[in-house]
Copies of this chain bind each other. A is one copy, B any other.
Amino acid sequence: MAKINKDYTKLQSSYLFSTIAKKVNAYSAANPEADIIRLGIGDVTRPLTPTIIGALHSAVDEMADASTFRGYAPDLGYDFLRSAIADNDYKARGCDIDADEIFVSDGAKSDSGNIQEIFGRDNKIAVCDPVYPVYVDTNVMAGRSGSFDAATGKWSDIIYMPCTKETNFLPELPDKVPDLIYLCFPNNPSGATITKAALQEWVDYANKNGSIIIYDAAYEAYISEADIPHSIYECEGARTCAIELRSFSKNAGFTGVRLGFTVIPKDIVVEDVALHSLWARRHGTKYNGAPYIIQRAGEAVYSEAGKKEIRGLVDYYMNNASYIYNNLKAAGYEVSGGVNAPYIWLKTPDGMTSWDYFDYLLTEKNVVGTPGSGFGPSGEGYFRLTAFGDANKTIEAVNRICK
């Protein structure tokens, strides 16, 4: 008699963005005339740029000819892409990362959900609170969460690191030492960033305690200020304790194209085993490589023309971020983020709960955002707006909110 994975039944309601989609669809169905502006899910809206489009067309043509056709890709990614990543994202920044320490994948969501599989069930994990829900939910599914306490909104076996106004939206080193520490900077959802000196403290803490940091740098392209590290490998000692996750979704607009990568330096050894070899085995067994045509598109991101175009995309969204940030602030809202990240984090007005404010914005202003409480208990009373919308619609949405 087959048995289900009981840990799945512990999961709380459905995935945050599914719930939002259902609410929006219901409202939209009941109010078909409503002009709803979506600043909720972190999905991009600008089209792919000419250099990327050209690379895709060219790779598609290669697939039409037997002499240039490509079947199975190398499990870990094509060398042309791994080398472009190593050179541009790491060596150019002085980070000592080799091409064969880069694992190409179909995106940072998959990687951030799958990476826990190479660790034992008995690892204690720590997450920022609020947090990208995938880190927590995949650990619940894997049996590491303990039980859920509806009163606090917390899992008994997970260490929560509150990131609120009081902590400047940054986590503090936990007293009880976690085995796996999930960090995301620039942060989703709060848009907060960490200085190199502060990140160095985390690297030192992890090395001292034998913890592993899973560092999600999906938003690094949005960093505009100096002294904010683009990679954890800018910190000394990160090669022995840190895994880094990256995405092409938010810089190059690949949310619907699907491409990302994970970096595991060969120096990370846990219980005498190189994590690099475990992840290679996982990748080789449960994954079959990213599509050739999409890896060529990824390569084009690193061409001179591609870099310039991608800069243009980021600037476009960051103009949105500034508009949201400045106008909400001027209107009296408490806001943070939005400077090195495409997310603006605001305190809900009048002590409203996050979901009450969500409903208010949806029904009164026809604007969709993301309730902070959906990201964890410390997100209660906060709300996330994204800068990924169309510029004119973003202005319209902000004007509606401020009116």
Taking beta carbons and an 8 Å cutoff, which residues of A are in contact with B? 1-6, 8-9, 11, 14-15, 18, 41, 43-48, 50, 53, 56-57, 60-61, 63-66, 69-73, 75, 106-107, 109-110, 113-114, 117-123, 134, 137-138, 141, 179-180, 209-212, 253, 255-258, 270-271, 273, 275, 278, 281-282, 284-294, 390
Q: Which B residue sits closest to A122, measured CB to CB?
A: B3
Alpha-carbon distance A209/B2, docked complex (angstroms)? 9
With A45-B69, A258-B291 in contact, is A120–B4 under 8 Å at CB?
Answer: yes
- Residue A256 contacts which of B122, B137, B212, B291 (CB distance < 8 angstroms)? B291
Q: How far is the CB of A299 from chain B (nearest CB, A)?
A: 15
29 contacts between A and B (CB under 8 A): A1-B211, A2-B180, A3-B120, A5-B117, A8-B278, A14-B281, A15-B284, A18-B284, A43-B71, A46-B66, A47-B69, A50-B64, A53-B61, A53-B64, A57-B60, A63-B257, A69-B253, A70-B256, A71-B253, A71-B255, A72-B256, A106-B106, A110-B287, A113-B285, A138-B285, A141-B282, A255-B288, A257-B292, A258-B291
Smallest CB gap from A279: residue in B:
B8
B60 touches A45 (CB 8 A): no
A3-B117 contact, Cβ under 8 Å, with A45-B71, A53-B64, A291-B256: no
In the complex the two chains form, what is the Cα distance from A123 to B47 in whole Å? 46
Given A4-B120, A50-B64, A70-B256, 5 more A-B residue pairs with CB atoms under 8 Å apart are: A2-B212, A45-B69, A53-B60, A256-B292, A258-B290
